[in-house]
Structure 1
Amino acid sequence: MPLYWRVCLINGLVFVAGTVALALAPVTVSATVLVSELVVLTFGLIGIVVLNSILLRTSLAPLDRLIRLMDTVDLQRPGQRLTVAGSSAVGQLLRGFNAMLERLETERSTSNAKALAAQEAERQRIARELHDEIGQGLTAVLLGLKQLSARVPAEAQADLRDVQDTARATLDEVRGVARRLRPGVLEDLGLHSALAALATEFSAHGLRVRRVTSPGLPDLGSERDLVIYRVAQEALTNVARHSDARTVRLALNRQGPVVLLTVDDDGRGLRGAAESTGIRGMRERALLIGAELTVGASELGGTAVRLEVPCEAAR
């Protein structure tokens, strides 16, 4: 039955019930309303209003649940659905909303997978160009400066060394950017070695990184390894930029049915700040492999990032 006719029927039944009660009850109303008659009429009116509100509340409660879910739904936290019972118009509306959420989550997951794949491909292309073009060009510049040093007057040697140092530092920076864009150690040596190299890189920038890994982890596959590496990289970058932390713990171990990556620090914590673009990007990556990402308070006093990758999904 359409919702409009259901509301009309409920109100009609309430009015009919009130009319029948007045017709059958031994109650009369004088020309001048007595106090006893006023009390009876008041309680009768209250009863009709209460009965009508209960019936309407029962019929419209699913719409309230729908409105609350519409206000809070987040496609980065999939699986939020409404319980549907019956085949009424409201039930059809709830089923349609659930189906819409299913389509949106599927389309979002597909588009995110394509976007992240394109992003990784572009990173690899830029890394190759940095290594092959700019890196080789700077190497040639350094060789030319070395050959030139034999013919430069003594008073210009100091300036030449400064230019060589600048070119050498630029070459190192270009190589570092290329490594961050395309983690070759992940492809060549695996996830454990890539995380170790990542910890070493951030330790060189002033952070004290404690790495904890457990042996015997299952083979997660290249796609999941890349997601774990990127999440760890983004989490460590956030620590270095925003947390004012001195120590950070990077842990990868197995806990029952999941492989758990944890990055927690002793910094100043989130302090109620909204999720940044980096955190939402980590959530997008986690969704691609069926993992769950949580960001909260750390035992060390700062922020903890936890990525749970199901072992079943890995196999």
Structure 2
Amino acid sequence: MRQNKELYNFSLDKERQNSKISILTAMLDGQEQERGRLARDLHDGLGGLLSTTKISLSQLTNKVDSPMKNDMQKSLLQLDTAVEELRRVAHNLMPDLLNRYGLEEALQDYAVRMSNVQLDIDVQFLHYSNQLTKDEQLLVYRVIQELVNNAIKHADPKQIIIQIVEEADYYTITVEDDGKGFDIDQVKGNHSAGLHNIQSRIDFLKGKFTIQSEKDVGTSVEIIFPKK
């Protein structure tokens, strides 16, 4: 009877895990489909409209007097900036490089696009053999994207270091910044959507993560998940 009870409990736990994974799969698939739809709408719809507007303004510029022409040239430059920003947003929503060339190329490109004069983002891959599945690569990309976005939004860092290390049986991902830091207990108590998204994706990878942060020093997030 004891043995049967243990087998029953084991079977019940396994069923709960399978149910949890199914729910996570449906949730993540839904999120990616919505991201893809938004990216297409932005690129094809709004992007096309901005490009058409730029062509119309360019044609008008040649027909107006010099004082007005300078103002229109400024408007054209602003349109160029808007188009570039739209492309950046659409690319972040659905990174084509990830599907074409894999995680390493996509993250290197992401780091270059997010870096600027005030912020340097460095990506390091150690012993990486590119054996992650497409789904795993997308999950890792989204987790890192969320962590970097959170750091930029809240910590005002000067440098962010992203490191992916492949070991014999597991992967380690570390994202460090030299920003403001924060109270970890307070952040966990807030149950933020960003933290929930990160936790959901790491659960899907069957991994775990830890956060270390010190005010005015920076934050380090370490994620470990097993190879399949």
TM range (shorter): 0.7 to 0.9
1:203-282 matched pairs, under 5 angstroms: 203-204=115-116, 206-271=118-183, 272-275=185-188, 276-282=192-198
Residue 162 (1) aligns with residue 74 (2): yes
8 A contact 2:127–2:167 mirrored in 1: no
Report the Cα distance in structure 1 between the residues aligned to 2:78 and 2:202, rounded to whole angstroms. Answer: 40
Question: After superposition, what is the alpha-carbon deviation per residue over 1:135-162, rounded to whole angstroms, capped at 9, x for unaligned?
Answer: 1221111111111111112221122112
Paired AA for residue 117 in structure 1: D
Q: Which residue of 1 aligns with 2:23?
A: 111
Report the Cα distance in structure 2 between the residues aligned to 1:254 and 1:104, rounded to whole angstroms. Answer: 30
Residue 182 (1) aligns with residue 98 (2): no
Report the Cα distance in structure 1 between the residues aligned to 2:95 and 2:198, rounded to whole angstroms. Answer: 17
Q: Are residues 222 and 274 of structure 1, via their aligned partners in 2, closer, same or farther at CA, if it must alter by over 3 Å?
A: same
Question: For 1:273, what is the secondary structure of its paired residue?
Answer: helix
1:1-315 matched pairs, under 5 angstroms: 103-204=15-116, 206-271=118-183, 272-275=185-188, 276-297=192-213, 301-311=217-227, 313=228
8 A contact 2:127–2:166 mirrored in 1: no
Report the Cα distance in structure 2 between the residues aligned to 1:288 and 1:280, rounded to whole angstroms. Answer: 12
Question: For 1:226, what is the secondary structure of its paired residue?
Answer: helix
Deviation at 1:106, TM superposition (A): 3.4
8 A contact 2:42–2:86 mirrored in 1: yes
Q: Are residues 217 and 163 of structure 1, via their aligned partners in 2, closer, same or farther at CA, if it must alter by over 3 Å?
A: same
Larger Rg: 1
Which TM-score applies when normalising by structure 1? 0.64
Aligned-residue identity in percent: 25
Gaps of 5+ in 2: none
Report the Cα distance in structure 1 between the residues aligned to 2:139 and 2:104, rounded to whole angstroms. Answer: 13
Report the Cα distance in structure 1 between the residues aligned to 2:79 and 2:73, rounded to whole angstroms. Answer: 10
Q: Greater CA deviation, 143-152 or 202-211?
A: 202-211
Question: After superposition, what is the alpha-carbon deviation per residue over 1:44-68, rounded to whole angstroms, capped at 9, x for unaligned?
Answer: xxxxxxxxxxxxxxxxxxxxxxxxx
Paired AA for residue 197 in structure 1: D
Deviation at 1:109, TM superposition (A): 2.4
Count of aligned pairs between the two proteins: 223
Which TM-score applies when normalising by structure 2? 0.86
Question: After superposition, what is the alpha-carbon deviation per residue over 1:267-295, rounded to whole angstroms, capped at 9, x for unaligned?
Answer: 23232322332122111011112232322
Report the Cα distance in structure 2 between the residues aligned to 1:201 and 1:306, rounded to whole angstroms. Answer: 23
Report the Cα distance in structure 2 between the residues aligned to 1:106 and 1:155, rounded to whole angstroms. Answer: 68
Question: After superposition, what is the alpha-carbon deviation per residue over 1:144-194, rounded to whole angstroms, capped at 9, x for unaligned?
Answer: 111111111222112211221222221111111100100111111211111
Deviation at 1:105, TM superposition (A): 4.1
Question: For 2:140, what is the secondary structure of its paired residue?
Answer: helix
C-alpha RMSD of the superposition = 2.6
Q: Are residues 280 and 98 of structure 1, via their aligned partners in 2, closer, same or farther at CA, if it must alter by over 3 Å?
A: farther
Report the Cα distance in structure 1 between the residues aligned to 2:218 and 2:129, rounded to whole angstroms. Answer: 27
Q: Are residues 180 and 158 of structure 1, via their aligned partners in 2, closer, same or farther at CA, if it must alter by over 3 Å?
A: same
Report the Cα distance in structure 1 between the residues aligned to 2:68 and 2:44, rounded to whole angstroms. Answer: 31
Higher strand share: 2
8 A contact 1:217–1:253 mirrored in 2: no
8 A contact 1:296–1:304 mirrored in 2: yes
Bigger relative contact order, structure 1 or 2 (CA pairs below 8 A, ≥6 apart): 2
